[in-house]
């Protein structure tokens, strides 16, 4: 199916971090369309931000490909996390829910320890969770907001990757979520866009550092994707026209992001490391 909704979208605003059920139209995470083929059979994966949006779509796809999962999410997103758990378990896979704030190094280490204990190991780490907020002027960005964005978007990747690496055996995988903003920064998302550029660099450097252990590190760079982050962090006019600036003419549905994450986690990508897979609706990416 490619007949997805196009802007203008209905007028809507939510409080951060947003809720899937309140979105109009409701995002498609592949609930009724994604069909697995056993490409991740027997694997154990951690997905941060796995409660909604891209994270939920990846969780559904991974489960249908045969993986057991630990889903990391903010405590305020419990309702969305339970919905993701329902779809994973409907695929016959195990789900461990881990609420908490990944800006804490201690909590990041606890996520890894919980996955090892409850799933029996880790094969795949998907660093997907992100924080963003829109600001018109530089002076509107508080020190706390700048620090919060870096703590969630890039510091947590370091904490999680460092803690996971000793448990990732030969063939282990780390997948980071970057953004088109790493290449074409949106001025109103200055802090967020800056972290996405850092993620790109982190991915390429970490891939080299872990290559001798045969641990592959790659990232996916989405363009505009219709997730709760959008109505909860962007002004009404930006939400209404969201994704209309792409050649395809619309925002991606989360379902459309899942296949690259599956490919990068599978043996099909055995010679890919340090790479970025852009999924941008036709917008150029370096």
Q: Which residues does the annotation mark as catalytic?
A: 192
Residues in the chain: 286
Residue 184 CA: distances (Å) to CA of 23, 99, 188, 189, 280: 26, 32, 12, 11, 11
- Cβ atoms of 190 and 135 within 8 Å: the answer is yes
- If phi > 0 it is left, if psi is from -120 to 50 it is alpha, else beta; for residue 223 that is beta
Strand runs (DSSP E) across the chain, as ranges?
44-48, 68-73, 95-99, 122-127, 168-177, 216-222, 276-279
What 3-state DSSP class applies to 76?
Answer: helix
For residue 261, give the nearest of 200, 178, 201 by alpha carbon.
178
Cis peptide before 272 (omega within 30 of 0): no
For residue 15, give the nearest of 133, 101, 128, 139 by alpha carbon.
133
φ, ψ for residue 201, nearest 5 deg: -70, -40
Q: What tokens were used for 56?
A: 């939920």
- Cβ atoms of 7 and 240 within 8 Å: the answer is yes
The torsion angle over the Cα atoms of residues 128, 134, 140 and 145, rounded to 10 degrees, is -20
Geometric angle at alpha carbon 189, from 183 and 72, rounded to 5°: 90
């Amino acid at each position: 199916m490619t007949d997805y909704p196009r802007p203008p979208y209905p007028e809507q605003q939510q409080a951060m971090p947003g809720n899937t059920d309140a979105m109009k139209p409701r995002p498609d995470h592949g609930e009724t369309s994604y069909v697995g083929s056993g490409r991740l059979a027997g694997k154990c994966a951690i997905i941060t931000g796995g409660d909604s949006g891209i994270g939920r779509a990846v969780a559904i796809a991974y489960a249908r490909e045969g993986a057991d999962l630990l889903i990391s999410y903010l405590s305020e997103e419990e309702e969305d996390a339970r919905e993701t758990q329902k779809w994973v378990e409907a695929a016959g896979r195990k789900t461990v829910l881990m609420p908490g704030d990944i800006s804490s190094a201690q909590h990041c280490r606890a996520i890894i320890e919980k996955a090892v204990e409850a799933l029996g190991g880790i094969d795949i780490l998907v660093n997907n969770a992100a924080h963003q907020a829109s600001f018109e002027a530089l002076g509107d960005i508080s020190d706390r907001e700048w620090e919060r964005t870096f703590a969630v978007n890039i510091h947590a990747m370091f904490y999680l990757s460092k803690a996971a690496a000793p448990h990732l055996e030969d063939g282990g995988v780390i997948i980071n979520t970057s953004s088109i903003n790493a290449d074409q920064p949106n001025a109103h998302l200055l802090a967020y866009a800056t972290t996405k550029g850092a993620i790109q660099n982190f991915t390429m450097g970490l891939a080299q550092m872990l290559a001798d252990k045969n641990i592959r590190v790659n990232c996916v760079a989405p363009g505009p994707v219709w997730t709760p982050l959008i109505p909860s962090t962007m002004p009404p006019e930006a939400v209404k026209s969201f994704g209309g600036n792409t050649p395809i003419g619309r925002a991606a549905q989360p379902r459309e992001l899942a296949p690259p994450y599956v490919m990068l986690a599978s043996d099909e990508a055995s010679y890919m490391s340090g790479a970025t897979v852009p999924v941008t609706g036709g917008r150029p990416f370096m």
